[in-house]
Structure 1
Amino acid sequence: CSGVEMSTNLELIRGTYEGSSEDNGRNLRAVLSPDVEWTEAEGFPYAGTYVGPEALIDGVFRRLGSEWTGYRADVHTYIADGDRVAAFGVYSGTYNATGKSMTAPFAHLYQIKDGKVIRMTQYVDTVLVTRALS
């Protein structure tokens, strides 16, 4: 894997975090493989593996948008290694049903093939997230 390919993969993932939510969502949708496997951590409110962009958008992103106010994933570090890119950051937001806010560190590990995300695995301190739900 060339250095150019690694920086391209890095830029591809960076483009899904660093704009407005609309831009990030549009950019993410554009780079999802049709059979993407997206795994939300056990203990996270939307835990499980979603296969395909529609399942992911409906099962995770629409819910984040409707069940939370000000939900954000702010990345502070990216690491590229061949076809993998890791993003490390902090989630924040207020859960509408309880009015409770949270901040929780996360890591997202992406696998990229031919310019498309084929897999993402979420790692997060779910205790800090679930406290806001109750």
Structure 2
Amino acid sequence: MTATPTDTVRDFYTKLAAADAPGALGLMDPDIEWITMWHYKVEGRGPGAVAEGLFKPLMAEWTSFSLVPIEFVTEGDTVVSLGNFTGVHGVTGKTAEARYAHVWTVKGGKITRFRQFIDTLAIADARRR
């Protein structure tokens, strides 16, 4: 049975929660476009660019973090996940709790595009000393 776009996105969050970065990156199309609202910027395209521009700096800045999807809305190849980011900032020790909306495009079982919308004020407050 072929995975639906929602199955693929759920699998991504499951792999992140299990600290399986290679598995999460493996769900991405080689030409994935990754768009964020944070100070992390993914330059270029592809899983390697996501690892360098997002995963590595995110893991370096936050001593712990989780993304917990609460709801999924799917229309064709597009999946919107609504959920909560919780993280402990490595320098300030403050906890951030931020609501997010992630918009995913999945084609042929691979994530081809990601767009992030998040409560950036909650993140900024945790980063502020």
Q: Output the TM-score relative to the length of structure 2.
A: 0.88
Aligned to 1:128: 122
* Residue of structure 1 in register with 2:110 after alignment: 116
The 2-side partners of 1:47 and 1:88 are apart by 21
2:96 aligned residue: 102
Aligned-CA RMSD value: 1.9
Residue of structure 2 equivalent to 1:8: 4
The separation in 2 between residues aligned to 1:114 and 1:48, in whole angstroms, is 23
User: Quick one: structure 1 residues 126 and 48, their matched pair in 2 at CA, closer, same or farther if it must change by over 3 Å?
Assistant: farther
| CA gap 1:47/1:97 in 2 versus in 1, 3 angstroms | same
Is the 8 Å Cα contact of residues 39 and 49 (structure 1) preserved in structure 2? no
Deviation, 1:12, is 0.8
Per the alignment, residue 22 of structure 1 pairs with 19
Which position in structure 2 is the counterpart of 1:52? 46
Distance in 2 (alpha carbons) for counterparts of 1:129 and 1:49: 21
Gaps of 5+ in 1: none
What are the Cα deviations for residues 74-133 of structure 1, in whole angstroms up to 9, with x where unaligned? 111111110011111010111111111110000100011111111100000101111111
Please name the residue that 1:77 is paired with. 71
- Percent identity over the alignment is 29
Deviation at 1:55, TM superposition (A): 1.1
Q: 1:86 aligns with which of 75, 80, 88?
A: 80
Give ranges in structure 2 of 5+ residues lacking alignment. Answer: none
Structure 1: which 4+ aligned runs deviate by more than 3 Å? 47-50
* TM-score of the superposed pair, with normalisation by structure 1: 0.85
